[in-house]
Homo-oligomer: A and B are copies of this chain.
């Protein structure tokens, strides 16, 4: 075998490090995640980390980008599902979030929310990237709410940008509370109040 790694081998290993990193960061946070632990779990030789990433920060940002891309894909599956009305799509997306939280026994929460809490204050690079991710989600939700407005599902005077911001903000808060109460009730309460009071 050649000592020079092929581009696809390099990409596979890089992806594996990101996958393992996402798991470990979800459990411990970014600051306390050691590069050695990531390499060991991914069974990648010690010392080769800098072949794949310029720095630990670069690695963290790659984890954010990867998660953001996957999540946006999922979000689109819900929000572009033309078989359901715009509001039903948003509800389906939120209900899937409740199911996912139930699936992990309320131990995870949103990696972007977690990293925001931990890093927004410590690194301008992380803060700016996390803000971009939030804004991309908000844009998609605002588009779907605009469809709901045009379809007459919500009041024609609705400020869809403000509602999208409120939805994301409240949902992050509810996911955090779910972790602390070890129950999805705060998420269910949020959904109920959002649909019956905020959007009515």
| Binding stretch for chain B, among A3-11, A49-57, A90-98, A166-174 | A166-174
| Binding stretch for chain B, among A60-68, A71-79, A119-127, A139-147 | A119-127
Contacts of A189 in B (CB 8 A): 162, 165-166, 169
Contacts of A190 in B (CB 8 A): 166, 169-170
Closest to A108 in B: B121
**Cβ contacts A154-190/B at 8 Å (1 or 0 each):** 0000000011011011111110110111100010011
| Binding stretch for chain B, among A16-24, A27-35, A36-44 | A27-35
Closest to A200 in B: B197
Q: How far, in angstroms, from A194 to B200 measured CA to CA in the complex?
A: 13
Q: How far, in angstroms, from A164 to B50 measured CA to CA in the complex?
A: 49
Cβ–Cβ contact B116 & A118, under 8 A: no
| Residue contacts A-B, CB under 8 angstroms, 29 given | A27-B121, A28-B122, A29-B29, A29-B31, A109-B117, A116-B176, A116-B179, A116-B180, A117-B176, A120-B180, A127-B179, A127-B180, A127-B182, A130-B180, A134-B181, A162-B192, A163-B193, A166-B190, A166-B193, A168-B177, A169-B170, A169-B173, A169-B176, A171-B173, A172-B177, A173-B173, A173-B174, A197-B198, A198-B198
Give residues in A with beta carbon < 8 Å to B.
27-29, 31-32, 107-109, 113-114, 116-118, 120-122, 127, 130-131, 134, 162-163, 165-166, 168-174, 176-177, 179-182, 186, 189-190, 192-193, 197-198, 200
A28-B31, A116-B180 given; 19 more Cβ-contact pairs under 8 Å = A27-B121, A29-B118, A32-B32, A113-B117, A116-B176, A120-B179, A130-B180, A162-B193, A166-B190, A169-B176, A169-B177, A169-B186, A169-B189, A170-B170, A170-B173, A171-B173, A172-B176, A193-B198, A197-B200
